[in-house]
Each structure stands twice: as structure tokens, then as C-alpha cells.
Amino acid sequence: MNKVKFFFVFLVFQFLIMDSYAQLLKSGPMLGYNTLREVGVWVQLEDQGYVAIKYWPTESPSQMKMSETFYSENYKANTATIALGNLEPGTNYSYTVVVNDKESEAGRVYEFTTQKLWHWREDPPNFNFLAGSCVYINESKYDRPGKPYGKSYSIFSKMAEEDAEFMIWLGDNNYLREVDWNSRSGIYHRYSHSRAVTELQPLLAKMHHYAIWDDHDYGPNDSDRTFGHKDVTREAFEDFWANPNYGVMGMGGITGNFVWNDCEFFMLDNRWDRTFPSSEGSILGEKQLTWLIDALRNSSASIKFICVGGQVVSDLAEYENYAVYGAERKKLLNLIDEYNIRNVVFLTGDRHHSEMSVYRTPDGDEIYDITSSPLTSGAYDHSSEKNTFRLKEDAIIGENNYAVIEVSGKRKNRKLKVIFKDVKGKKIKEYKLIGY
């Protein structure tokens, strides 16, 4: 065999080996929760198998460790979230995914950095994060006839280019269809299909991810507490995301929280206990509302971000806005004011437009609502809506977009800025909110 032919055969052989390794993974890896001492990594395999993570401090490869090995099951769509523990704060780590004792993707190396131990030592680090909602991924044989509802997925590529540490998915992170929501296999198919988009993979690996849900990843359109398969969609949600906690205090649903530097994020569930729409009805329920207020009062965070599927501050009592549930919305805002809870910012989605709203309490405090929507589903111009609390007359965006949220400044004078960007990563609007 001459050298040219040998080299060609060698290249083909190497390609086949690399392709076979790549086939071990269906989606991911995705970076999940991040703390000073532990990080979660999510993966989905093509089939049942054993999966583990090999990881080490990037500057000290000799300190390599192997995570616990998990067996992925078809029953859970072959997903696994693996905790990497005993990490050092503020340290860069490298890792590879090991499937059935083989390094997937021919040993491709990924990276993450643990949160920094700044407390009692220095000002908290500046950081950026992304926010967005409403991700429709087309699947023509199960979609409604006509023009596809899902738009360009290239937005994910632009998001992956951002200098951000994590992403918050604000609900409707995938859209269950009529063919999906009445069976476990249908629900897990939809979650798997949405997660496997090629353009999404670099974003999943680039930064850490946290999520809440809204009606479309919880059940049918506008679904509430009566949805009969909510236990299954909750299980699927836990299998496909890697939040640090779910259903805190035994509340059921997906309620939780996490801390990033000096900020705290409260992840609310607006479906599990949601009643039929009425002015006296409830979105959060008494138990979740009590937990939220207690947690806010107990928090020492510089900025307190409350993540929930639908708009809170807007007083437009239509669609699924909180204003439809007037009594509970009023109670929530009054309690924030009564207990003088400062620097509260709602992060919301759902509406297929982005918008900035601000509610000024009788004491003069400002409560912001950053609505970020949609990522790939249909976008609409809702500028004619009557929202008394819109930050500015034109503080609304009717195209596909995502939000870049910047936290900076000294510990006692943190600043918050929001930049909305289009599918090409170009700035649409910018707002300076706190500390400017």
C-alpha cells in the first residue's frame, strides 16, 4: 500500500472512530448549577449506558479525579446529572465525558470555573448572565400545518459568543404538542427533541444553566394545577435541567433558589398551584408566596432576582399576566414594600415580546420587571398594550431577542444594566436600572 493510500485509509479510520465517540452523546454536556465547591454537569446519551466525568484543575492535570458513575436509563431518556464535588473556589477546571469507559467525542475537553470566595476579602466580582424564554423547535409532522412557528436557531450561536457566566431559561423552554402531553413517552420525546438542536450545544457547554417552567413545558397551553400529568412533566424537568434544588420545603413543583456572588435568584413555579383565572385567584399559592417573602426578608443579597414565567409588574389584566390575579399580585407587591425589601428585580418571559417595567412603591422604592421573550418562537409587536408601569413609552421589543444582564460595582453600590440583543447579537436597546 503506497503512502498516499495509507494516509487516506488512516484518515477515514480516525473519522470513523471520532464519529463513533460522538454518537455516544445525544445532547450536552450542559453545565448546570455552580457553587464554590460543587458543579453539576448534565448529559444525555444515545442509549442506556454508564457515564462519568473525568475532571481536574486546568493548571494541575496531575490532580485528575473521576466522578461517580451513573447508569442512564431509557425510562429517563438516558439523561444524567453528575455532581463534581470537593472543588476549590475560584478555580478553572477541565473535564471530559466518559461513556462506557470511553472518552466521548475522542476525549474533547470542556471547562468551567467555580464561584470565587470573595466574602470578607474584597468586593464581589462583576458578572454577566443571559435571560430568555419561549423556545419553539420545529418538528413538522407534529406541528400545526402551515408556516413553521419556530424561527432561526442561530440565536443560540450568538448567545454562546457572549461573555456571560450563566443563562436563566424563563419558561416555555420547549413546547409540548397535542401528541406529547398526555403520555410519558410523548413528554420525554419533546424534551429530547428540543434539547438536541445542533446550534444549542455550544451554548449548553459554554456557560452554566438554570431554568424555570411555564405552561408549554409544564403541560398544554394556559395549563394550571388541574393538569393530570404534572408529576411526569416535573420529573422530565428535573431530568433535563440541573438546578441545585426543586420544590423546596416540600412544596412540589419546581420552586427553588441559588446564589451567584452577592446576588440571589428565586426560581418560582407559576403552574403547580395555579387556579382558574380570576381577580381573587392565585398563581403562586399561599405556601409559595409565604416562602418567597420569608426568603426575601432573610436574604442579604445586593440584588434579589425573582424568576417567574409571566409578567408581574405590568398592570395589563389580560392574557396570563399577574394582573389578572389582582388580589395576589397586590399582596405580593405590598409585602415587598411593607418589609422594605430593596433592589427587587423580576425576570419574566411568556409574552413573545420583551419589555421593561417599573413599579414605584409608596416609600419610593423601585421594583423592576425585565421581560425577555421570545428566543425562537413567534414574536409580536405589543406596543399598543396599556401597561401603566412600562419604564419608557418605547421600552418594548417585538422581535426575537435575548437579554444580557450586567451586575457590577462596589458591594454597597451595585449597578444593574440590561442589554437586549437580536438574533445576530446586535444591541437593540439598553437600560441602566440600579446604581446609575
H or E segment at 13? helix 3-22
**CA 399 to the chain's CA centroid:** 20
The pLDDT assigned to 6 comes to 41
- pLDDT value, residue 431: 98
Burial class of 275 by CB neighbour count within 10 A (0 to 12, 13 to 18, 19+) = middle
Q: How far apart are CA 244 and CA 235, in angstroms?
A: 15
Domains of the chain: 25-113 (2.60.40.380), 127-434 (3.60.21.70)
pLDDT for 2 equals 58
pLDDT at res. 106? 79
DSSP 67-120: ---EEE-GGGTTEEEEEE-SPPTT-EEEEEEEETTEEGGGG--EEEEPPP--TT
SS3 content of the chain, % helix, strand, coil (to 5): 25, 30, 45
Residue whose cell numbers read 442506556: 48
Question: Could you state, in chain order, the average pLDDT of each consecutive group of 10 residues for the chain (436 residues)?
Answer: 45 38 82 98 97 98 97 97 98 97 89 98 98 98 95 96 98 98 98 98 98 98 98 98 97 97 98 98 98 98 98 96 98 97 98 98 94 98 96 97 98 97 98 97
Name the 3-class secondary structure at 209. strand
Q: Which residues contact 157 (CB under 8 A, 6 or more apart)?
A: 199, 202, 203
Please give the distance of CA 23 from its chain centroid, rounded to a whole number.
Answer: 26
User: Which pLDDT does position 52 carry in this prediction?
Assistant: 98
Going 123 to 127 to 133 to 137, the CA torsion angle's sign is negative
Cα–Cα distances in angstroms (integers) from residue 48 to residues 26, 99, 234, in the given order: 11, 10, 22
Task: Pick the closest to residue 49 from 20, 22, 69 (CA basis).
Answer: 69
